[in-house]
């Protein structure tokens, strides 16, 4: 789950990482009131779950409350990489002498926690990595040994930060960021820019924060930060029904049992020249209600023109799934043609059941590739 900048900063603040004071606003009037409370120059910042807000005109300095209200009017409703701005973070403006970059994430290759630090902050980190890789200092932390302060010293020297005051503050920030990352079950905490003010004070000016969905049950407070409006309506519906679903942008609806099978189904659709509309995993079960729920979510996407049902019978038998499909089709009307590929345990019995019932818009194919081709053809 991705957090908004202001939510990430709230977690930073709780772990003692310095951030600027700010307020949320959803209207220009609220932005004015926030600026009045904060006093002086403020920054008006679009809260959207995407980067590059500055370049897109979603981050603006304001001189006074009237100006903040005007800037809020400009930014609210703005479309930034497909994300419409509905919320603003009004923050006391900082004076910036230097912009650094600090992040912590997982390095899956070495199975360790990876810190990255560079004095070339403020721009996309991929740019720095491509243009001047030597400027990017890396630090691997073994999760079993945990973080040791001497490691922070090493990465700070590695990045070429030689001001003792900055070194001391960044030392502390690296340690706190490690705790924040581990204790929040985060997958990424990125501070870009980590600024140094003209007075030499170091502070997090931005936050990109991703928390592991599978750990949210341990963090009620973070789970409550989820903004349902930030997700496509189909995904919201799926979450409510307990269906494992991810929206994609093609027109062939996909339904399968088992994440691995569904992933390969997406590949086979691409191989057959089509584009999948979604990922949807029925899981182990194939009961009628599960199928109805999944089909309701899949067909809520107006782009779906055909549906491919890919089932491999294992512990869940093919005939059970076939009964589930038939029952589901009896309970609801589906306008799009459905292609079924059924294999594995009791596949024969399952296919017979489908053939006997023979619903009008149901096509049974013997292999995954043939089923994919058929589904793609029917979507045209
Ligand atoms: P992003 O573009 O989505 O990464 O948003 P950021 O929060 O990183 O802001 C973009 C840029 O706006 C920063 O790199 C800064 O240069 C600038 N900026 C943000 N906050 C302030 C501030 O308080 N004062 C000044 N002078 N510039 C700021
Ligand atoms: Mn940034």
List, for residues 11-70, the tens digit of each pLDDT value: 999 999 999 999 999 999 999 999 999 999 999 999 999 999 999 999 999 999 999 999
DSSP state of 50: S
Query: In the chain, how many H helices and how many E strands?
Result: 13, 19
Rg, C-alpha atoms of the chain: 26
**Nearest to residue 185, comparing CAs of 215, 225, 145?**
215
Instruction: Calculate ∠ Cα 199-200-206, nearest 5°.
Output: 105
- Ligand 2 centroid, distance to 121 Cα (angstroms): 9
Q: Is 105 left (phi over 0), alpha (psi -120 to 50) or beta?
A: beta
| Tokens 């809260």 -> residue | 47
Q: Would you say residue 284 has pLDDT above 70?
A: no
pLDDT interval class at 366 (50, 70, 90): confident
Q: State pTM to two decimals.
A: 0.81
Per-residue pLDDT, 229? 84
Known active-site residue 201: no
Q: Percent of the chain beyond pLDDT 90?
A: 80
Instruction: State which ligand 1 atom lies nearest to the alpha carbon of 208.
Output: 4
The yes-or-no answer on residue 4 being catalytic is: no
**Measured in angstroms, how far is the CA atom of residue 77 from the centroid of ligand 1?**
19
What pLDDT is attached to residue 12? Answer: 98
DSSP 375: H
Ligand located closest to 43 CA? 1
Which residue among the candidates 100, 101, 178, 245 is catalytic per the annotation? 101
CA dihedral 166, 167, 173, 174 (to 10 degrees): 140
Residue linked to tokens 């900048």? 5
Contact criterion met (CB below 8 Å) for 257 and 311: yes
Ligand 1 atom closest to 206 (CA): 7
**Interval between CA 193 and ligand 2 midpoint (Å):** 6
pLDDT of 283:
79
Q: Whose CA is nearest to atom 16 of ligand 1?
A: 122
| Candidate list 69, 91, 166, 190, residue with the active-site label | 190
Q: pLDDT digit string (tens) for 93-112?
A: 999 999 999 999 999 999 99
The beta strands (E) that lie in the chain are given as 2-3, 22-25, 42-46, 59-62, 79-80, 83-84, 88-92, 98-107, 112-118, 137-141, 186-196, 202-204, 208-211, 244-247, 252-256, 278-281, 306-313, 338-344, 362-365
Reported as a pLDDT band with limits 50, 70 and 90, residue 270 is very high
- Angle in degrees, CA 152, 156, 159, rounded to 5: 140
Q: What is residue 365's DSSP assignment?
A: E
Q: Look-up: residue for tokens 């140094």?
A: 196
Question: What distance in Å separates the CA atoms of residue 366 and residue 308, rounded to the nearest whole number?
Answer: 13
The confidence score (pLDDT) of residue 126 equals 87
pLDDT given at position 286: 65
Residue 321, pLDDT above cutoff 70: yes
Name the band, by pLDDT with cuts 50, 70 and 90, for residue 128. Answer: confident
- SS3 letters for 306-361? EEEEEEEECCCCHHHHHHHHHHHHHHCCCCCCEEEEEEECCHHHHHHHHHHHCCCC
How far, in Å, CA of 227 to CA of 216, rounded? Answer: 14
CB-based pocket (< 6 A), ligand 1? 43, 51-54, 59, 93-94, 96, 99, 122, 192-193, 205-206
Q: What is the pLDDT of residue 243?
A: 92
Which structure tokens are listed for 94? 């900082």
Q: Let me know if 318 is exposed, middle or buried by CB neighbors in 10 A (0-12, 13-18, 19+).
A: buried
What letter does residue 276 receive in the DSSP assignment? B
CA of 196 to the centre of ligand 1 (A): 13
Average predicted confidence (pLDDT) for the chain:
94
pLDDT of residue 47: 98
| Mean pLDDT, range 258-280, rounded to an integer | 96
pLDDT at 75 over 80: yes
Per-residue pLDDT tens for 155-196?
999 999 999 999 999 999 999 999 999 999 999 999 999 999
pLDDT band at 148 (very low <50, low <70, confident <90, very high): very high
């Amino acid at each position: 789950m991705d957090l908004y900048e202001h939510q990430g900063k709230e977690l930073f603040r709780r772990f003692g990482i310095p951030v600027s004071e700010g307020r949320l606003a959803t209207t220009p009037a609220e932005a004015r009131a926030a600026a009045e409370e904060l006093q002086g120059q403020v920054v008006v910042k679009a809260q959207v779950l995407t980067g590059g807000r500055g370049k897109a005109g979603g981050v603006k300095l304001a001189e006074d409350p009237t100006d903040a209200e005007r800037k809020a009017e400009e930014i609210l409703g703005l479309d930034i990489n497909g994300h419409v701005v509905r919320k603003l973070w009004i923050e006391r403006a900082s004076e910036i002498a230097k912009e650094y970059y600090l992040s912590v994430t997982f390095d899956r290759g070495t199975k360790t926690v990876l810190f990255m630090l560079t004095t070339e902050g403020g721009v996309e980190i991929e740019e720095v990595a491509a243009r001047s890789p030597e400027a990017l200092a890396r630090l691997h932390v073994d999760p079993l040994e945990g973080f040791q302060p001497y490691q922070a010293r090493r990465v700070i020297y590695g990045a070429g930060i030689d001001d003792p005051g900055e070194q001391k503050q960044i030392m502390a920030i690296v340690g706190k960021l490690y705790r924040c990352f581990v204790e929040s079950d985060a997958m990424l905490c990125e501070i870009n820019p980590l600024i140094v003010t003209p007075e030499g004070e170091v502070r997090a000016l931005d936050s990109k924060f991703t928390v592991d969905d599978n750990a949210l049950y341990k963090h009620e407070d973070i789970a409550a930060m989820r903004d349902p409006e930030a997700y496509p309506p189909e995904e919201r519906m799926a979450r409510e029904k307990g269906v494992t679903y991810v929206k994609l942008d093609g027109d062939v609806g996909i339904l399968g049992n088992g994440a691995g099978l569904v992933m390969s189904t997406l590949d086979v659709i691409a191989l057959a020249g089509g584009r999948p509309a979604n990922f949807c995993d029925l899981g182990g079960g194939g009961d009628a209600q599960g199928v109805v729920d999944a089909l309701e979510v899949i067909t809520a996407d107006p782009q779906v023109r055909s549906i491919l049902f890919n089932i491999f019978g294992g512990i869940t038998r093919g005939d059970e799934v076939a009964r589930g499909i038939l029952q589901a089709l009896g309970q609801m009307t589906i306008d799009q043609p459905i292609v079924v590929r059924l294999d594995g345990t009791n596949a024969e019995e399952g296919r017979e059941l489908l053939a006997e019932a023979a619903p009008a818009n149901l096509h049974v194919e013997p292999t995954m590739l043939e089923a994919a081709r058929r589904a793609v053809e029917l979507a045209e």
